[in-house]
């Protein structure tokens, strides 16, 4: 069976539901959603979406590498936790299903994606290039980013059951380091993908430029509106899915990438439809942030008072010494 999956914190639940809505327009696929911070009220969601299955850290913690990743990143780095667990989640699902597509929760599909699963008939992994600018003489430092943030985007990856060795390797790499360190060539989970087509057989680089359309491929994947109003990439590729990172949203709203305005509207309409379901978790997160800020301010104030008290004590001692010397 073919399935899809994503990883979120509970406050991004509406993103996962919007992604799911776009998937269901074309196929009745299962979507597994791994939530890495807190349990959610599933009953209302499952009434509407029978295809969604929720997982939590406790469901994968029995996996040795998952336990290591959770221990390392859970408390201090939720982003690294989510990124590092992609490979673990994929590997876990491959023990149950034949093919798995991992999708970042800010993806949205606009055309049939069955061919992605078809590619996994003869390839054990499929990955998408960033398609950043090929010329070094381009603005925005896009060419340089090819060498610092990875050739491929880790917001999408497809695997079949033959890819378990690749996923185990990727998980081990992420447990080793999931950080941004340009000097050492690390860009979270993403730069490890550079090595996959070299060290592993049957890793296919998808050359369909309508996959993973985003801000980073604005120049190489030109948006063109055809006479019938359809927007194609390079006058050839239909848009399969868009990756709505904040910079792309800014470019669309500013008019720079205006041909994707209707696509953005479809995605934001879907987000708004499900926003109420993630509202309780967004409130919880805001309250926690407020509590942390309050605790930090209190601690700073306490230390400032303590420091002032020490200064006053020193001044009193110096005053007593001066009086004694004057006798």
pLDDT digits 0-9 by tens, 272-296: 999 999 999 988 665 555 444 445 4
Q: Cα separations (Å) of 21 from 82, 104, 173, 243, 281? A: 22, 14, 33, 15, 21
Q: Quick one: pLDDT at residue 296?
A: 44
pLDDT digits 0-9 by tens, 47-89: 888 999 999 999 999 999 999 999 999 999 999 999 999 999 9
Distance CA 15, CA 245 (A): 12
Span 12-19, mean pLDDT? 97
pLDDT at 303 over 50: yes
Please report, for the chain, the start and end positions of each structural domain, with discontinuous segments joined by +.
2-286
Distance CA 246, CA 100 (A): 26
* DSSP per-residue string spanning 106-161: TEEE-S--HHHHHHTTT-SEEEEE----SSSS-GGGHHHHHHHS-SEEEEEEEEEG
Distance CA 188, CA 224 (A): 33
Say yes or no: domain 2-286 is CATH 3.30.1490.20.
Answer: no
Give the number of residues written for the chain. 327
pLDDT digits 0-9 by tens, 205-244: 999 999 999 999 999 999 999 999 999 999 999 999 999 9
What is the pTM for the complete model shown? 0.87
How many CA atoms within 13 Å lie on the side-chain side of 144?
A: 6
Distance CA 55, CA 68 (A): 18
């Amino acid at each position: 069976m073919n399935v899809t999956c994503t990883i979120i914190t509970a406050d991004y639940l509406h993103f996962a539901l919007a992604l799911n809505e776009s998937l269901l327009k074309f196929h009745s696929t299962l979507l597994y959603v791994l939530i890495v911070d807190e349990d959610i009220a599933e009953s209302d969601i499952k009434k509407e979406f029978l295809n969604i299955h929720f997982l939590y850290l406790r469901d994968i913690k029995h996996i040795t590498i998952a336990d290591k990743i959770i221990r390392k990143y859970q408390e201090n780095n939720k982003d690294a936790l989510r990124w590092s667990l992609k490979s673990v989640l994929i590997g876990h699902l491959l023990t149950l299903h034949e093919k798995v597509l991992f999708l970042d929760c800010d993806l949205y599909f606009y055309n049939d994606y069955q061919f992605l699963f078809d590619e996994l008939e003869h390839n054990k992994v499929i990955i998408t290039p960033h398609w950043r600018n090929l010329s070094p003489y381009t603005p925005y430092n896009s060419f340089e980013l090819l060498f610092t943030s990875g050739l491929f985007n880790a917001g999408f990856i497809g695997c079949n059951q033959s890819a378990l060795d690749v996923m185990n390797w990727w998980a081990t790499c992420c447990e080793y380091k999931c950080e941004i360190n340009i000097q050492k060539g690390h860009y979270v989970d993403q730069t490890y993908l550079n090595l996959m087509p070299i060290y592993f057989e049957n890793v296919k680089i998808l050359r369909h430029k309508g996959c993973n359309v985003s801000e980073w491929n604005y120049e190489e994947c030109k948006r063109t509106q055809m006479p019938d109003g359809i927007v194609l990439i390079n006058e050839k590729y239909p848009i399969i899915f868009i990756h709505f990172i904040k910079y792309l949203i800014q470019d669309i709203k500013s008019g720079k990438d205006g041909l994707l305005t209707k696509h953005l509207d479809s995605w934001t309409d879907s987000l708004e439809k499900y926003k109420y379901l993630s509202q309780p978790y967004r409130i919880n997160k805001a309250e926690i942030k407020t509590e942390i800020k309050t605790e930090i301010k209190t601690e700073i104030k306490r230390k400032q008072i303590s420091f002032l008290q020490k200064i006053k004590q020193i001044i009193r001692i110096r005053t007593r010494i001066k009086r004694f010397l004057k006798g």
